[in-house]
Structures are given as C-alpha cells and as structure tokens.
Amino acid sequence: MRVPGASRLWISPERRRALPRALGYLRPYRARGALALLCVLAQSLLGAVPFLAVRAITNHLTHPHGSFTPVLEITVAAFAAMVLSGLLGVAETYLTVSLSESVVADLRGQLFDHLVGQSVAYFTRSRAGDVMSRIVNDVAGVDDVIGSTSLSLLNSALTVGVSLGLMVWLNWQLTLLTLLIAPFVALGLRLGGRSIYRARERVQGELAELTVYLRETLELSGVMLLKSFGREQRERARFAELNRSLRDSEIEAGMATRWITMALRLAQIIGPTLLLLAGGYLVTHHKLSLGSLLAFSMVAIRFAGAIQESATGLLEVIGSLAPWQRIFDTLDEPYEVSERTGARTLAQPRGAVGIEQVSFRYPGQRRAALSGVSAAVEPGQLAALVGPSGAGKTTLSHLIPRFYDPQSGSVTLDGVDVRELTFASLAAAVGLVLQETFLLHASLRENLAYGRADADDAQLLAAAAQANLQEVIAALPDGLDTVIGERGYRLSGGEKQRVAIARVILKDPRVLIFDEATSHLDSVSERLIQDTLAELSRGRTSIVIAHRLSTILSADQIFVLERGEIVQRGTHEQLLSQGGLYTQLYESQFAAAPS
C-alpha cells in the first residue's frame, strides 16, 4: 500500500541515482581510500594499548617482588604505540585530503573540459556567474563529504557490523530488542535526508544567484552603469537581500538535521535503558549471566553510537547529493555544436564560402533570424553584408565559424560542409574581428600572440605595423610588455580593434569575417582601420558587415539582408541602378557615413 505523500518524505529516484554516479568518482582512488581506512582501524586498535598497559602494569605492581624492568618495557611499548598511532593519523589525513582533493580536481577538470566545448548558444543562454558557480561553489559543496565523511561513514558502518555480530553471539533475544530502534533510525534518515537535500539545494542555488549578481555588478562595465545611474543604494539593498536569503538558507541547512540527530541521541539513551530492564529481568530469572549482560550492554552502547555516527554521515552524504546533482546536470547538458567523429581537415583551404538554403532560428525564438539564405563568395573576394538593424547580418556571419549550426541548409568552405570539418581546421581557416574587441588582461604581446603562440617579437611587431599600431606601441609605457585589457592600460575603441586585427593577421586565416564598428571612431582611427582592412583583406576571402562607404565601394559583391532574407545582391553600381532597399540604405547610412 502506498502511503499518501510518502514520496514527499524522500528525494526523487533520479536524484538518488546521483549517489552511485558520485561514488564512481572515488573508484580511481580506492587503494588510497582502503589504506586510509586501514590507518583508521589501526589507530582504533592502538587506542586500546594504554588501557591494556595500565592493566598490565597494575597487575604486575600488585604482584609481590615485581621488578621494574617490565614496567619500563610496557611504558616504552605503550609510548611507541602512541607515536605509531600519531604517525598513522598523519598518513590518514594525507590520504583522505589527497583523495578528496584529487576527486575535486577531477571534477573541476571535467566540468571545464565540458563547458569549454559547449557552443556559443549555450553561453548566450546561461549567465556567466552561474557557469562559474558550477565549477567553484558546487564543487566546493561536495568537497567536504568526499574524503573525511565517507571514511568515517565506512568506519562507523564497520563498527555497526562488528558490534551486531558480537551482540548476536552474546544474546540474540537482547539483540532483537536493541534492533527495535531501527525503524526510528530509518524514519529519521528519511525525514532528515529530505530536509537536508532541499536545504542544500537551496543554498547552492542561492550561491549561484549571488555569484551571478556579483559578476555582473562588480565588473567594470557593471560598475560604470551603476555609477552613471546613481544606483549604489539600490544595489546595496539588493545585495543585502540576496545575502540575507543565503544566510537564512545556510542556517536552515546547518539546522536541517539537528532535530533528527537529537532524536537519534535519545534513541541511544532509550536503547540501553530498555536493555537494562529486559536484561535485569533475564538475569533475575537466571536466563542470562550478569557478565553477559554487562558485556552485551557495553557492545550495545558502542553499536548505538556507531549507528548515530553512520546516520549523521549518511545525512551529510545525502545533503551533498544536491550539489552533485547540479554538477551532473551541467555535465549532461548535450553539445549543440559538436565535432563529428572522423571529421576532416582542410590542408590548404582556398577560402570559397558557400551558404546554401540556410534557415536559422535562435533557441526559444518564434521568428527565424535567417530563412532560406543562399550566397557564394569566391576565394579572395570581398563580400559586404548590409541591411537594417536586426536583419540577420551578424547571425549569418556567426554560422561560418560554427558559433551556431543552422536548422536547415548548409554552410560550406571550399565545398565542404563546415560540420564535416574538425574544429581546429575550421578555426585555422576562419578569422574574426568583431565590433566589440575582447582583450585579455595580459601584456600586449600575449594578446597578439593569442592567435599564434610561436610568433617571435619580429613577427608580432610586423603584424602590429600592418595593423597601424606602431605609434600606439611606441606610446605604451612598457611597449609590448604593457598589460592591457579591462584592468590594465586602457586602449581606445579604435586601438583595440587594431589589436584584434593584428591578432588575426598573425593567425593568417583564408577567410576573414569583419564586423565594422558602428560607433563613431575619430577620423584618424577610422582611416587607419580602413587602411588596415584593405591590407588585411588582400589575398583572402573577406566577409564584412559593412557600415562604411569605402567598404561597399570596394566590395566585389554586396548582399542586402532584410528580415533574415537576402533581398538584393550585386555590386554597388548594379544595386544603385536597381533602386529599392539598397538605395534607401545608401542614402540614409552610407552616403552620410565617413568613407
């Protein structure tokens, strides 16, 4: 018979399945775990030595005419046993710490490997702090439980087994009586397990929330936004709310098992009381010897203590299933864009780009960003993408390096579907210069060499010169060694884009995707970037999201996009003679724009 609401007493079966999977992470370190357990057992055996020594010495001293030598020998032996026990304690700590930290490092590595392989779409959807929280907070959430808790759980489970065996051997009737506490322990575990799981789930969720918030707010652009809108007080209040909520959840998680533990402690007292009553009855009726009752009571107390320790350990393990589950959810998120097994490498790409009947809809969007788009760009050609805002120009350019895969149609490089190519081969063939240049907080040298790690200074400087960066480098306090990026030396928008151009020059891709800046750069920067683009596009296929007159004038082909479709195509002159959207765009955007 199903008890109504019974499922609410326990965590769901699929959540429970996290346990064997989590245990799988311990498998490579089982030898280390077994050794640590041996150390624990040896220590508990050695713990009996002082008592035995006291007993032996007392017996010896109470014996008349006893010599002093045995006293010395026993004391030295007991001392040696204690030193050995201490050493074993050190070894045990090393083994458990190294075991848990190894598992944690494996987990962090696995999470990073998985996340870094995720598609751009995944990161568009997820909040940066949330992704970070999986690697930092969730892994930290399982850290404590892996080594010490599992070990003490094993140790106490072993004690439970041994004591139970002894109890049965001493008196099975009293053993049955002792086992009356079992249903209470089971119920305690159920209730405690459910509440600790939920509390830990909430804590991990709120930790992620806090990380997301901090990541957004305390980032340079976030702080600038906050300052410019005078939101300090409001943000302090918002943080205080998140902080309070996390504090409450942490307290709840800390208290989740307290009542259960207390109840188990009570059982620990009630058990021996019942035992004394029943045992007393059996002894008075000559059904049990006094010695057996005493021995049984001592073992039963140890049994109840071990049961309580096991239950507490088990509850901690159940609580840790919440962060484990969050980790597994992240690891199980499939790749939307993945490399096919047996993917090809293009040894010497020529740079022919084909877009064939491509339709693409962003996940969760009703309207398609691109529908039935076809275009061909020959090797070495310069193609300009133009169109009103939101027409799909950026989306189209992002399909070439496989930031996303289209739902239908195909994108080809030298006639080969890009989905057939290895990621490395595609990345080597396609270079991007985006509107928003992302620079690492590192030296200019490291930023430039990002595209080619083996480049020497001469090559770096040559690429920088091609990107018209000589004067910028000359003005930097430490030249190529100057740390740039958000928290380093601040470069202007135009200078940043030129660094991005130099980075791509070093990579030397056959296909270049260039998103011209829409923001107004000063005329010198503008001219420098245009000169650089001319230089950069020479000899390679260039697909430019065009905002400058000079670009459309020099383009071999112009594709005019509107609402995800190519509505016009041709050269500047051909398109102007056709009239339509291109003429409108030309008059409103390009004719007025700086050349």
Residues engaged in binding ligand ATP (CB under 6 A): 124, 362, 365, 369, 387, 389-395
C-alpha 107/C-alpha 328 separation (Å) is: 10
> What distance in Å separates the CA atoms of residue 433 and residue 238, rounded to the nearest whole number?
37
When the beta carbons of 89 and 390 are compared against ligand ATP, the nearer one is 390
Whichever of 69 and 365 has its CB closer to ligand ATP, that residue is 365
Residue (379 or 390) nearer to ligand ATP, CB: 390
Least distance from ligand ATP to the Cβ atom of residue 393, Å: 4
- Minimum separation from the CB atom of position 563 to ligand ATP (A): 8
The CB-of-390 to ligand ATP minimum distance in angstroms stands at: 4
Cβ atoms of 70 and 78 closer than 8 Å? no
Round to whole Å and give the CA distance between 34 and 411. Answer: 55
Q: How far is the CB of 396 from ligand ATP (least distance, A)?
A: 7
* Nearer to ligand ATP among residue 394 and residue 410 (C-beta): 394
- Distance from C-alpha of 539 to C-alpha of 542, rounded to nearest angstrom: 9
Look at the block and give the residue holding tokens 């030193």. Answer: 83
Tokens 């997301």, located at residue = 212
Per-residue burial over 326-349, b = 16 or more CB atoms within 10 Å of its CB, e = otherwise: bbbebeeeeeebebeeeeeebeeb
Tell the smallest beta-carbon distance from residue 395 to ligand ATP (Å): 3
d(CA 62, CA 441): 78
When the beta carbons of 373 and 473 are compared against ligand ATP, the nearer one is 373
Name the burial class of residue 592, with classes exposed (0-12), middle (13-18) and buried (19+) by CB atoms within 10 angstroms of its CB.
Answer: exposed
CB nearer ligand ATP, residue 395 or residue 537? 395
Q: Which amino acid is at 116?
A: V
Query: Closer to ligand ATP at the Cβ: 282 or 433?
Result: 433
What is the distance between the alpha carbons of residues 89 and 83, in angstroms, rounded to a whole number? 10
Rounded to whole angstroms, the Cα distance separating 567 from 561 reads 6
Q: Would you say 461 or 560 has its CB closer to ligand ATP? A: 560
- List of residues 6+ apart from 267 with CB closer than 8 A: 181, 184, 185, 304, 308
Min CB(401)–ligand ATP separation in Å:
14
Nearest to 516 by CA among 402, 416, 434: 434
Beta carbon of residue 124, minimum distance to ligand ATP (angstroms, whole number): 4
Closer residue to ligand ATP in complex, CB, 248/436: 436
Q: List CB contacts of 335: < 8 A, sequence separation 6 or more.
A: 117, 118, 119
The answer for 380, left when phi > 0, alpha when psi is -120 to 50, beta otherwise, is left
C-beta separation of 304 from 268 below 8 A: yes
For residues 110 and 330, the answer to whether their CB atoms sit within 8 Å is no
Q: How many CB atoms are closer than 10 A to CB 241?
A: 11
> What's 483's DSSP letter?
B
Nearer to ligand ATP, 393 or 510 (CB): 393
Structure tokens at 419: 């989905």
Backbone angles phi and psi of 522, in degrees to 5: -70, 160
In whole angstroms, how close is the CB of 369 to ligand ATP at the nearest point? 4
Compare residues 86 and 363 and give the one whose CB is closer to ligand ATP.
363
CB of 7 to ligand ATP, least distance (A): 38
Residue closer to ligand ATP, measured from CB, 273 or 365: 365
Task: Considering the complex, state which of residue 370 and residue 505 has its C-beta at the smaller distance from ligand ATP.
Answer: 370
Residue 362's φ and ψ, nearest 5 degrees, are -65, 145
Contacts of 493 (CB under 8 A, 6+ apart): 437, 517, 519, 521, 525
CB of 518 to ligand ATP, least distance (A): 7
What's the min distance (Å) between Cβ of 403 and ligand ATP? 10
Phi, psi at 485, each rounded to 5°: 100, -175
Beta carbon of residue 445, minimum distance to ligand ATP (angstroms, whole number): 32
Nearer to ligand ATP, 233 or 519 (CB): 519
- Closest separation in Å from C-beta 362 to ligand ATP: 3
Q: What is the DSSP string of 233-269?
A: HHHHHHHHHHHHHHHHHHHHHHHTTHHHHHHHHHHHH
Identify whether the C-beta of residue 506 lies closer than 8 Å to the C-beta of residue 448: yes
Give yes or no for a contact between 43 and 89, defined as CB atoms under 8 angstroms apart: yes
Least Å from the CB of residue 547 to ligand ATP: 8
